[in-house]
Structure 1
């Protein structure tokens, strides 16, 4: 483990720069916020990680979560209690001890008890807790030497976006939104030294009246990269209770003669792309319990299960096509083009790679079957995108953000979209706002240079004219539009021979008649498959 550097969390560096520069005093921290992070000694949840990293003199850390208390360190709580008493009584905090000896003693003691009562009342009363925190920031500016750093967990549950309609919110929700809006919009607050950090998986889950304030900045925690996963595996190996670190059983690692531990760690870290530290930990614990190394199938199964859990089974599906281009009937010219031109371009690891392709052709032409074979030839994870729209307001944006984090974490992936014209709408005036926003984000992801060579988009459609022109443009799938038409000529005869094969010698004399008279000129690949099935059933 000594040779593996500790993870470098760029999102924390960005957060620290915003706080130190005073660029913003209200921040939304989103993304991979439910994972584990290395604090220098062990892997811990996000808030303990942040508390450890921001533990510096002159800064008082405050943590609040729904149905929980306002958490403060013992010394910090005493400092805040004294500052509260000084602020409420109008006394100088430096003179508080002297004033307490005189006639102001009862007033000072009353304000101290008031502070303690507010701390107790905050438990189970989110509205009062937020107002108390707002009052603390005012108190800090007036009477406290230190600055406050306030972390509010599960901010989406405290300030939910809902359907964005104020009229449908209850009084408590309205008041909480009003409190935080007034708090963040106060010039004395955003020009002061105290900072509030709202923690949520997605910024879109927080009510737009807060999330869209210009003085609120966002920081996103990405999924762990290969170096972070390698560090966790090495750290886990060094723990007394940890079993030997397993190695994925693939063609690369299984042929190594007594591989060095570093090679084992690298192999496991690379093969688990797409997993969070939590999911990787589960994989290692299961392996240690079963006293056996993790196989390639174990890794693939864990990645698939994790991603489907994150996105939902109705959103994505993993496919493992077993047929290759050799199994595709007919389409000789297309297969040659795919093997010699398209596949080499798709396999490139950098910006020389194609972003993907649009595949057009009549229904039943074999588009899906052919390009499933292409995906199998690439030997990459195949993610079938079913639908990323949600019936719940705001969830579509959340699903998209999860999808993007997954794609950025995977080393290489094929996104397979069937009936793409119905999956992706337009951006015109007739489209719903959510539809326009979703389509715009998908288009941006297709042309994102950071994803070039990592994400391959294969869009199937029988109605390519209904696909957004922005999606069809060069730089996205418009770089390559492939027609898959009904078979003609030798391709058609190949299909007829394949169709008649189950009939044996009885079908040998039917080839020419079926080609010239028996079957329509536009007979589709799906039609040939259906007839073959009938012949096999006879």
Structure 2
């Protein structure tokens, strides 16, 4: 199958990437001849050059020269380029076959091969069968397979698409093809873009091409430098560069290194982070927001027990003890309690990247599943990574299909399955944030998914308010000596959230500036407090507090006022509040 034959003394599969070894092993069983490669199919792959040194080239080159280098004939086909051969000998053989075909059927294919799938696949099948009958070995590589067998309902496919699907399904279990030395390889970036009749066919083997891991990125950087010293172009050491480029393909890594080598743009930690963010967001087309945390948990005001728990998790990650990490966290609490900020600071505590889910749903059939697949592939390459899902109760949906041909149900099932995959424990840490955890499906917040339930509340004690004030002072840049912030807050003002406190301090600075002063005073702050009327939604806030209490998995996280409440009383009051809000 490869340049070296299977019977050689040296293992011909030893130097192949993992996905290629799996393909070869399946091929040698003689039970599968059709392979569906998806994932990083546009990335560079390792090649063995004529002098025995290591090089890199396209997947097309890798398949033709490395994986199928020992085949008699290797052919390529896609809608744009039509039928192509990998060598002059195969091209001559193809021309000879087409001349005979023309004589038999009155066509003129020897001069110009058709590109449309209906005729092209018929020609290819004829060529494959003739060469197999002669005992030849062949490989056919079909690129952009999603344009030939697109995903979606069968009734929505064109007549041509149905013909192609039927042809490829027939090839997959054809006795002559299974018995002969032939491989059909389909290439697509996303498995979800391919018709499930093919991708789930038992005679078709789907194989994912992952983004390069750390050691593979390290190998590519060494190859790209070609003996040059990294220090000449980079402030980042080699090992750190390989680690920090997690989530980048070799092509993306090539862009970073080419800029440094040819344009003299020196690689620094900050420049690399910014470039990585830019490349990943471009790859994801707005599906993910890449957040580089700038704070640690020291920047979080209050929530002492929650910070203690997250610091423990951070220490476990730093020690590489991924097996003790929760699969994910459910972070609940009323609006303005700093749920998003807490998660960002946790990531900053251990220096891992944070990605935030953006809108991956689409009105077009199949696109939502395809977008989700892109996100999952990137997360697997980025680990360790924290995944932030804001307003999780509405964003992730549920198992109810909702009249959308089952898309919502399939998407929810994919997310739940991915979240619960214990292979990623400690590598992909999920944070589901919501003010209404009672609306989040139990499938996501059970053990094995969002295992730890943290509850955040507004500051209640004077010490908590003082800490919140100092943190917000630093954030807003308000330099002001205040003996006691609690004394400035008017009597009767409800508990202030972090967002409320930030709004007060920003208004204080604005008041001073409006009066022609750069420096605000205590009197400015006192005046703003007396004028400030925080948005008041008492029933909603009470409900958000109580459902957070219900979901919390640690009694120590609860303020004293909630810790003493009877659970039955909480349940009854939640039911009452929901009824009142529905009536309102």
Shorter-chain TM-score bucket reads 0.7 to 0.9
The question of 1:70 aligning with 2:56 is answered no
Mean Cα deviation higher: 439-448 or 453-462: 439-448
Contact 1:204–1:394 (Cα < 8 Å) also in 2: yes
The question of 1:518 aligning with 2:492 is answered yes
The question of 1:451 aligning with 2:424 is answered yes
Q: 3-state DSSP class of the match of 1:416?
A: strand
2:183 corresponds to which residue? 195
Contact 1:244–1:288 (Cα < 8 Å) also in 2: no
1:344 corresponds to which residue? 315
Contact 1:347–1:453 (Cα < 8 Å) also in 2: no
* Structure 2 CA distance for partners of 1:407 and 1:7, relative to 1, 3 Å: farther
The question of 1:249 aligning with 2:239 is answered no
Is there any run of 5+ residues in structure 1 with no aligned partner, and where? 1-5, 89-108, 254-263
1:24-423 correspondence runs (5 A): 24-41=32-49, 42-57=55-70, 59-72=72-85, 73-79=87-93, 110-111=103-104, 117-118=108-109, 120-141=111-132, 143-161=133-151, 163-166=152-155, 168-238=156-226, 248-249=234-235, 253=237, 264=238, 266-291=239-264, 293-313=266-286, 315-339=287-311, 341-349=312-320, 350-423=322-395
Q: Which has the higher contact order (CA 8 A, sep 6+)?
A: 1
Please give the per-residue CA displacement for 1:130-172, whole angstroms capped at 9, x wherever unaligned. 121122233334x3220321111111122222x4353x44443
Q: TM-score, normalised by structure 2?
A: 0.75
Contact 1:27–1:198 (Cα < 8 Å) also in 2: yes
Contact 2:299–2:471 (Cα < 8 Å) also in 1: no
1:47: how far off? Answer: 0.8
* Structure 2 CA distance for partners of 1:33 and 1:509, relative to 1, 3 Å: closer
* Structure 2 CA distance for partners of 1:450 and 1:503, relative to 1, 3 Å: closer
1:496: how far off? Answer: 7.9
* Structure 2 CA distance for partners of 1:378 and 1:307, relative to 1, 3 Å: same
1:418: how far off? Answer: 1.2
1:351: how far off? Answer: 1.5
1:57: how far off? Answer: 4.8
Counting matched residue pairs gives 486
* Structure 2 CA distance for partners of 1:220 and 1:44, relative to 1, 3 Å: same
* Structure 2 CA distance for partners of 1:495 and 1:273, relative to 1, 3 Å: closer
Q: TM-score, normalised by structure 1?
A: 0.81
Alpha carbon RMSD of aligned pairs, Å? 3.2
1:48: how far off? Answer: 1.0
Is there any run of 5+ residues in structure 2 with no aligned partner, and where? 1-13, 50-54, 512-584
Q: 3-state DSSP class of the match of 1:471?
A: helix
Partner Cα distance (1:186, 1:175) in 2: 16
1:420: how far off? Answer: 1.3
Contact 2:150–2:193 (Cα < 8 Å) also in 1: yes
Contact 2:327–2:422 (Cα < 8 Å) also in 1: no
Q: 3-state DSSP class of the match of 2:23?
A: helix
Contact 2:472–2:501 (Cα < 8 Å) also in 1: no
